């Protein structure tokens, strides 16, 4: 892979209905939507925003951005 390739900081966007708005426990794991996998936070945030806005009428629905790059390499320093 070329040295000039941009660093991938993988992010996953998922969502579904929550049991309680005070937590992050999904009502039914079979119904959790995997929106997609994104190469950076900006792309993941755009996808998250679009999904969150499309479900604004359902107060129990929540979408999350999971920082996969932090799980894959926990010793990685955050970009500043």
3-state secondary structure string across 14-52: EEEEECCCCCCCECCHHHCEEEEEECCHHHHHHHHHHHH
Tens of pLDDT along 13-44? 999 999 998 999 999 999 999 999 999 999 99
Q: Is the pLDDT of residue 80 over 70?
A: no
**Structural domains of the chain ordered from first start:** 9-65 (3.30.70.2400)
Q: Are 45 and 27 in contact (CB under 8 A)?
A: no
Strands 33-38 and 61-66, bridge-based pairing: unpaired
Q: pLDDT at position 2, please? A: 57
Q: Are 61 and 31 in contact (CB under 8 A)?
A: no
Q: Are 72 and 8 in contact (CB under 8 A)?
A: no
Q: pLDDT at position 7, please? A: 75
**pLDDT level of residue 71 (50, 70, 90 thresholds):** confident
What integer best gives the mean pLDDT of the chain? 88
Cα angle 3, 6, 9 (rounded to 5 degrees) comes to 125
Q: Is the pLDDT of residue 49 over 60?
A: yes
């Amino acid at each position: 892979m070329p040295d000039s390739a941009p660093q991938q900081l993988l992010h996953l966007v998922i969502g579904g209905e929550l049991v309680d708005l005070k937590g992050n426990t999904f009502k039914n794991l079979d119904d959790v939507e995997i929106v997609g996998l994104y190469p950076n936070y900006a792309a993941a945030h755009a996808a998250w925003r679009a999904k969150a806005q499309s479900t604004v009428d359902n107060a129990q629905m929540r979408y999350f951005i999971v920082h996969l790059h932090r799980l894959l390499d926990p010793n990685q320093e955050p970009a500043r």
